Structure 1
Amino acid sequence: MALGMLLALCAAVCMGTATVFQALGARAVTAGGPGAAVRATWQWPFLVGIGLDTLGFGAELLSLRSVPLFLVEAAVAGSLAVTAVVAAGVLHIRLRQVEWAAVGGVCCGLALMAIAAGREASGDGDDTMRLAVLAGSVGLAVVGWAVSARAGGVRHRAAVLGGMAGASFGVVAIAARLLPGFTVPGILIEPAAYAVVISGISGYLLLIDALQSGSVTGATAAMVIGQTVWPAVFGIVWLGDSTRHGLAPLAAAGFAISITGALALARFGEAEQATA
């Protein structure tokens, strides 16, 4: 349990820091130039960011083996606090007082959940649930593609796509939780493994589209809600995640505080576009 919590925090630190490195890589390329986006990905800070994102995702997958979904996903959403603090020092972005309070709120909320969280249920779901998650990942990817292609004039397009990206990332977390193991022969025939891949790729593409469609704050806020709330409910209702005896209100308060803090830091969902 303690190791799982540590891995969840490591995931938040890696992912939050990765955003800042990717912003540094983007800054090193002249905006609007030919192939600027491609050239940005080959800058060393951007490559470091990709590596940190990969490490963070691996830590998240491992933490899901022993920690309830609601705690892991809240920790991942808390990576925005890491981005804010690192961006303040590296990108010289000034944090407002309310944002420093939000950083503290994320930390306090996660601490409350760590105190209250019980061990996740021992079951990994059944074959029917794994197939349902795979079908859901495919369906969500198709719907996301349709919305992205046809919703050019939709009001709040960024928030809609951000919410769908968050829902996809939520499927990734649930599918990873349903994996019975990581052995190579077995994982190749595991429906949940393919759900991780499909929802991971579609969520990433939807998030990029959302960030390019409008408000970074709106897109990130919608993503945070989609990524945390429904996976937490799924873990409690269908997978048996629980809190320590009598500490459910404390866990609920911690979850609410940490997610509220993350929403207050939503402009750091793309550190390059955060303004002082």
Structure 2
Amino acid sequence: MLIGMVCALGAALCFGTASVLQAVAARAAEPGTGSGVDPALFLRAVRQWRYLAGLGLDGVGFVLQIIALRHVPIYAVGAALAASLAVTALVAARLMGVRLTRTEWVAVGVVCAGLLMLGLASGEEGSGTGSLALKYGLLGVAVLVLLVGALAGRLPDGPRALVLGLAAGTGFGVVEVAVRLIDGFSWRELLNPALHALLLGGAAAFLLLTSALQRGSVTAATAGLVLGETIGPAVVGVVWLGDRTREGLAWLAVLGFTVAVAGALALARFGEPAPEPGPTRP
């Protein structure tokens, strides 16, 4: 249990720092086609060292996330990953001269309090391995994420950012669930729909998030991301995979999850730093 929470928090640290680097690179890249699924924009952004460094941190964070998902319930890992916004805010304040308001400092504390409650209330991960229908359903969601991203490019900047952020968060949520549906490493797993869902959902989420960071509302995109990667996977973990809490502490887990996600949403503006360091916001 302890190693799972430590790895989840380590993943949040990696993802939170990576988002600062990647957002700067995405904003500095030349504008793309406007589509939510724009591989050319990704290729232009990835030429910059900041984006590459962010990808490296994402890789480390993903490994830590896998370890965490093997030890603690999905709802605990999802809330910890949402807390990466608190990490982003602190990194921006330290390295980019961004000033946090009193409300935002309170939000950082709220996130930490929510994670503490989750840590105290979380039980062992569920023993469910998921039905074949769930695995194919997860693959269907990954395909839907890609289609929604392609259509979102036609929307005005405001709703476009929200839809892309929500779709990207859903893609990352697919990855969270898929990790639990993959049984180790073997040739047989190459036929597992959950593995294909993981690859497609993760790739689609990266493309959509890059497009969301390139233009549009910071708060809308990041709020959508947080909601997409926390609520759905948590429900799947409890309903279909048997995730539970410690005896008599279900209320504390629900409260901690809600508090942590709410605190992360209050820090949504830190999901996308500006291209140059400045005194107002990242």
Q: Structure 1 length normalisation: TM-score?
A: 0.89
Equivalent residue number for residue 68 of structure 2: 63
Q: CA deviation at 1:185?
A: 1.8
Q: Structure 2: which amino acid aligns with 1:18?
A: A
Which sits farther off after the overlay, 76-85 or 172-181?
Answer: 172-181
Q: Aligned to 1:108, which of 102, 106, 113? A: 113
- Cα distance in 2 between the residues matched to 1:49 and 1:70: 25
- Deviation per residue, 1:126-164 (Å, 9 max, x gap): 22321221122223322332x224x33475221122112
1:83–1:271: 8 Å Cα contact kept in structure 2? no
Alignment of 1:1-276 (within 5 A): 1-22=1-22, 41-145=46-150, 147-149=151-153, 151-153=154-156, 156-181=159-184, 183-272=185-274, 275-276=280-281
Q: Percent identity?
A: 49
1:172 and 1:95, CA in 2 relative to 1: closer, same or farther beyond 3 A? same
The alignment of Structure 1 onto Structure 2 pairs a total of residues equal to 271
Aligned Cα root-mean-square deviation (Å): 2.5
1:144 and 1:9, CA in 2 relative to 1: closer, same or farther beyond 3 A? same
Gaps (5+ residues) in structure 2?
A: 32-39
1:123–1:239: 8 Å Cα contact kept in structure 2? yes
Helix, strand or coil for the counterpart of 1:142?
helix
Deviating beyond 6 angstroms after TM superposition, the runs of 4 or more aligned structure 1 residues are none
Helix, strand or coil for the counterpart of 2:61?
helix
- Cα distance in 1 between the residues matched to 2:265 and 2:126: 29
Q: CA deviation at 1:37?
A: 7.8
Q: Structure 2 length normalisation: TM-score?
A: 0.87
Q: CA deviation at 1:69?
A: 0.7
- Cα distance in 2 between the residues matched to 1:32 and 1:189: 39
Q: Structure 2: which amino acid aligns with 1:166?
A: G
Q: CA deviation at 1:202?
A: 1.1
Gaps (5+ residues) in structure 1?
A: none
1:67 and 1:160, CA in 2 relative to 1: closer, same or farther beyond 3 A? same
Q: Structure 2: which amino acid aligns with 1:177?
A: R
- Deviation per residue, 1:95-149 (Å, 9 max, x gap): 111111111111110110010001011121122321221122223322332x224
- Deviation per residue, 1:192-214 (Å, 9 max, x gap): 11101111111122222223341
Helix, strand or coil for the counterpart of 2:66?
helix
Q: Structure 1: which amino acid aligns with 2:68?
A: S
Q: CA deviation at 1:241?
A: 0.8
